[in-house]
Structure 1
Amino acid sequence: LKLKPSASPPPDISLPVDASYAGFGIEPSNLFSFMGAAEPNSFTLNLFNNLASYAGKPPHIRLGGNTQDYMIYQEAQNEWTWIENQNAAGQGQTKSDSMLIGPRFFEAANRLPNGTTVTWGLNLAYELDDHIEQITTMARLALSKCPNLNITSFEVGNEPDLYTQNGFRSGQWGGQMYTQQWLERASAIHEQVLEPNGIGSNFFEAAATASTIGTDFQIVNLMQFNIGTGAYLSGWNQHDYYYYIGVSGYPVTLEHLMELQTTEDQFEAWMEQVKQAQQTPYPYALREMGVVGPIGLEGVTDVFGTALWTLNFLLYTASIGVSSIGFHMTDNSNASAWQPVAMYNQPPHVRPLYYGVAAFDQIIGPSCGARIAQYQITDIPAEYTAYVRAYAIYEQDQLSSVVVVNGRLANSTQVSKPSITIQLQLPGSYAGGRTAHLAYLTNAGADATSNTTWNGLSFERTGDGTPKQISGDELTARVNADGTASFSLRDSEAVAVSLNGKVG
């Protein structure tokens, strides 16, 4: 495999990647599992702090999901949990006021690392007579009770494209009526909450859709419906799952996931939305992203292959102009980056997906200047074409690193695992005497559930989410006088090649 990245950024390179790019979504009903009840969850906090130290900023957090549309506030509810509303009167298969939260909810959220940027999900489903009072109360409390956070946007409603299906709306519900109701809520929150606190009106993301395929919730539709009226809009917010059980229509396997071409194929409709967003002044974020929904799949989302998929997905989406990714987490999901509490007869533990995020954060580093371009591989054995992807990262308009992800399946039980030799042809200014530093994302095989390492680090060995250096070996490749450097990459493995010192 031969790679010849250019010395300066190619025309299709991304904008600088924000340090909080690789983020997470926390399902509101599971907030206390992740952040703790009376006692903070130090396991979660350590895992967040690791990433903040690598990228220079905590990961962006979306506090949202289905259950944001079930929640209303009750001041007297002082439990470290949500409780069921015995007098729920809202509409929906699950009633839109069925969960009561109180002050403890905001205390728990405020435990996120200082300065964490947050998209806060609000309840649009609820539409009884006091709906404006309810939504403005929640917005006001989020801003006043969470001083540790940098709340950058509100999300009004979760997946409104599914509202008729789940009984929240009936009749002529669609993108146009959604826009009207979204604007009504945004206007009220601006007038009653934002403006009195000196916060600008452009504080709202739309439309948090599950899918825009076959709907009038596409970005181009919402612009036609004048969702930009009143200058409330700050960005586009959509959701995607690589695979969703009961929806996707084919049996998913680990090998299918690791055939990286299938990720680009699945993302085709979302890529069209990215392009539509680029015709507007607003950035495009995937605030809810999942590998397999709704709660993962054993043997696919809890194994090392998903770490490789995650690193590739972050690099791929950043390279095409997505502004932020939020990997969705529930406490009971095999697809969450970690299990925050004891469950399934297992203590809290880190899943391989987390390593893919940590790798991405160390690769882009804390400069806030990294720009990413997918490298179009032309010289590659046919059997690797759909499984291998390469990316070039530039900082200050100079090539800083190259990442190669090899998704070809190699399981732990294979005695002999194939590998490819990569020959990197560097620009003339890098030739001769320079040392390239290598960092590998690796495990015994794609099917391994534990003992992943990235750059010699383990996040499992300590048991508390803090990293432990397992291998101190400095892996390097010499750059020859002609600018070439060669190294090997095993099937089911990824490598980052840094030209400016050790990765991380």
Structure 2
Amino acid sequence: MPPMPRSKLWGAHFITLIAPIVSAIEVTIPLTAPSGAASLMGNLVSLSIEQDRWIDWAGTTEPNAFFNNVLDNFIQITNTPPFVRIGADSEDHTDFSYDVEYEEDIFPPSSAITPYPEATNITVGQGFYNIISHLPNGTQVHWGVNLREYNLTAAYLETLALMNAFSSPAVIEKNITLKFIEVGNEADLYYSNQGRNSSWDVQEYVSQWEEFAYNVSTTANLSESSYTKLIGAAFAGSSNNNLSGFSPQAIFNLGILESPAGQLIETISQHHYSGSFCTGGGSVMQDLMTKSYIRGNISMFVPDIEATSAEGLDYILGETNSMSCHGAPSKVDNMDISCNHLHMAVLLLSDVSNTAGAALWLLDYTLYATQVGISRLHFHDGIGYKYNLIQPTTLNYSILDGSPIAPLAPHVQPAYYAAIIAAEAIGSSGTTQAVEISIDEDNVSGYAFYENGSLSKAVFINLIAYFSGAGARNSTHIDFSFSGSGYTANNMSVKTLNIGYASDTTNLTWGGQTYETSDGRVSGLLTVDALPISSGVDLQETEAILVTFL
């Protein structure tokens, strides 16, 4: 039947008593990796950490055990630690002093919109850098130094302290390495954030970057043969939405890669958020989760990626997450919920960035990014930010509105499960490739994974947001067919991310197990369904599954 007319229902308890609808689709999966399939590294999902409270993440006199545990979970799965970027907005507010042991920060007042604001001034000492030794063995690091304050002495001292830390016996013994130095964060925003005057443009940026990056590279003794290289760009948006004229193409055209420092650029980084909460206001979770919206937010970078690839450089999202300014809590008012042939409107209250719905967004966003040439995504985290994958220290006031709360111990948030699922799909072979599966369904996504060229797994995600009070929970039945030559499995195992509602902030389970533990380690009995391929599989609204072909 045709959709019901759109309506507004002013109440939070509207329930429709109907049987769930099961739609059916057939997907065709190649048995061997198609030409051009994306190669995936185990650190595809990595971290960007706001620099101002780095000591809380790493620990000072001893490592932060919770943070190390949740990082080690990925090592157990992929044999690769997440890449850690330390910097962001506060990298451009950092100065160095030999009189400071770790760091001294000045913070603006907390507010309901920004309960945990970034520091406006950070003064650090050598110990701030030395505690990099607290990270897990083999961690690669990407560290930012200050360009915005136009203080060559500060950049010199920060670089010297960095190199002293990474050459220390404690760091060398654990094979923790400084892979990239980033000179300046989001310089395209320097005029709007009062870092430069109205004459600021990309040409002036290239001139200043070359000056500072040359100083940094000579201080660090970098060369084309050295392990440590420089990050290029670190701009706040794509060339499609950056009206200031800052883009990889622009700096390439201005000759940055031919400069002495520019020759040390190995990777181009850009930043992206799928919306904003900088001035408050509501955000609709279903918008964030919608398949077409996710693809639009990634595909806008394609011209930049292509230009970067043409220069022989790697391309990453060096800082990304759901909603800028630390994520969004949301009042979802008069939300239209489309459930196949049913259409209803219901008043719901829901969070966005700290929810199970955001976990499904992160999983699809990450996997789709690999399909357009993005090799790694650094999801931004700070102490108390709404969109964090990890809250690594005890919180004393709400991440949603800044109100006092009982002490909340370190914990993971729902998005962490998405990172775990991506890690399990990639595995530890070092040969994994992935392709998106063609699915003619508006909010069901699928990706096939290959090891040594042969089909091994698939991930399916149902992006329809299911809320309390929305009536029956519908599902999509997926039948499989296979194309090309290669081994055809007869059986499969199915592991499910169980979610009550898209607005849930806790009580998710992955294969029956939880990471919501006091030490960040997985707990509970693993539950995996063993099924014949011929039976297909059901995928509920607000659900993700990992299929392993046996």
**Could you tell me the TM-score, scaled by structure 1's length?**
0.88
Q: Residue 522 of structure 2 aligns to which amino acid in structure 1?
A: P
Deviation at residue 272 of structure 1 after TM alignment: 2.5
Please say if 1:6 is aligned against 2:37. no
| Contact map agreement 1:308 1:441 (CA 8 A) in 2 | no
Residue 394 of structure 1 aligns with an amino acid whose one-letter code is Y
In structure 2, the partner of 1:304 is 356
Matched, 1:225 2:240: no
Give the number of the structure with larger relative contact order, counting CA–CA contacts within 8 Å between residues 6 or more apart.
2
User: Given that residues 231 and 265 in structure 2 are in contact (C-alpha distance below 8 angstroms), is that contact kept between their aligned partners in structure 1?
Assistant: yes
| SS of the residue 1:189 aligns to | helix
Q: Is the 8 A contact 1:202 1:233 kept in 2?
A: no
Q: Residues 361-389 of structure 1, C-alpha deviation per residue, up to 9 Å, x if partnerless?
A: 011001121111111213xxxxxx33111
Distance in 2, matches of 1:418 and 1:111, equals 46
1:407-426 alignment, distance < 5 Å: 407-413=463-469, 416-426=472-482
**Residue of structure 2 equivalent to 1:314:** 366
> Which SS does the other structure have where 1:69 is aligned?
helix
Instruction: Measure the CA separation in 2 of the matches of 1:295 and 1:17.
Output: 28
- Identity over aligned pairs, percent: 24
The one of 118, 135, 139 aligned to 1:116? 139
2:457 is matched with 401
Q: 1:97 to 1:407 in 2, by over 3 A?
A: closer
SS in 2 for 1:449: coil
Q: Which residue of 1 aligns with 2:125?
A: 102
* Paired residues of 1:297 and 1:334 also in contact (CA < 8 A): yes
1:368 match: secondary structure: coil
Q: 1:24 aligns with which of 25, 47, 59?
A: 47
Gap regions ≥5 residues in structure 2: 1-24, 108-116, 330-350, 398-404
CA distance in 2 between counterparts of 1:370 and 1:338 reads 26
Distance in 2 between the 1:478 and 1:96 partners? 55
Q: How big is the shift at 1:310? A: 1.2
Correspondence for 1:200: 226
Structure 1 portions without partners, runs of 5+: 86-93, 379-384
The 5-angstrom pairing of residues 108-147 of structure 1 reads: 108-128=131-151, 130-131=153-154, 133-145=156-168, 146-147=171-172
Aligned to 1:215: 244
Other-structure match for 2:180: 153
Distance in 2 separating the partners of 1:199 and 1:107? 25
Partner of 1:237: 269
CA contact (8 A) 2:276 2:323 kept: yes
Q: Kindly state the Cα deviation for residue 295 of structure 1 after the two structures are TM-superposed.
A: 1.3
1:338 pairs, out of 370, 378, 390, with 390
Note the aligned Cα RMSD (angstroms).
2.5
Quick one: which amino acid aligns to residue 467 of structure 2?
N
Matched AA of 1:225: L
Q: Distance in 1 between matches of 2:488 and 2:388?
A: 43
Secondary structure of the structure 2 residue equivalent to 1:469: coil
Cα deviation, residue 5, structure 1: 0.9
Counterparts of 1:314 and 1:296, CA distance in 2 = 17
User: Which secondary structure state, in structure 1, belongs to the residue aligned with residue 188 of structure 2?
Assistant: helix
Distance in 2 (alpha carbons) for counterparts of 1:442 and 1:96: 37
Q: Tell me, yes or no, if structure 1 residue 349 matches structure 2 residue 375.
A: no
Indicate the SS of the match to 1:321.
coil
Between 356-365 and 38-47, the greater mean CA deviation after superposition: 38-47
Cα distance in 2, alignment partners of residues 282 and 489 from structure 1: 39
For residue 536 of structure 2, give the secondary structure of its aligned residue in structure 1.
Answer: strand
- Deviation sequence 1:174-222 (CA, Å, 0-9, x none): 22222222222222233232249x9628710111111242233211111
Contact 1:412 1:448 in 2 (8 A): no
The equivalent of 2:402 in structure 1 is none
Residues 363-420 of structure 1, C-alpha deviation per residue, up to 9 Å, x if partnerless?
1001121111111213xxxxxx331111111121111112111011212455631111
Residue 222 and residue 201 in structure 1: after superposition, are their counterparts in 2 closer, same or farther (change >3 A)? farther
Judge conservation of contact 2:126–2:161 (CA < 8 Å) in 1. no
Q: Evaluate the alpha carbon distance shift between residue 83 and residue 333 of structure 1 in structure 2; reply closer, same or farther with a 3 A threshold.
A: closer
Q: When you count strand as a share of all residues, which structure comes out higher?
A: 2
Classify 1:178/1:96 alpha carbon distance in 2 versus 1 (closer, same or farther; 3 Å).
farther
| C-alpha distance in 1 between matches for 2:529 and 2:69 | 27
Q: How many residues are paired up?
A: 475
Paired with 1:358 and 1:273, the residues of 2 have a C-alpha distance of 29
Output the CA distance in 2 between the equivalents of 1:476 and 1:426.
19
1:267 maps to which of 298, 317, 329: 298
Q: Which of the numbers 99, 104, 121 marks the counterpart of 1:82? A: 104
CA, structure 1 residues 495+155, in 2 after alignment: closer, same or farther (shift >3 Å)?
Answer: same
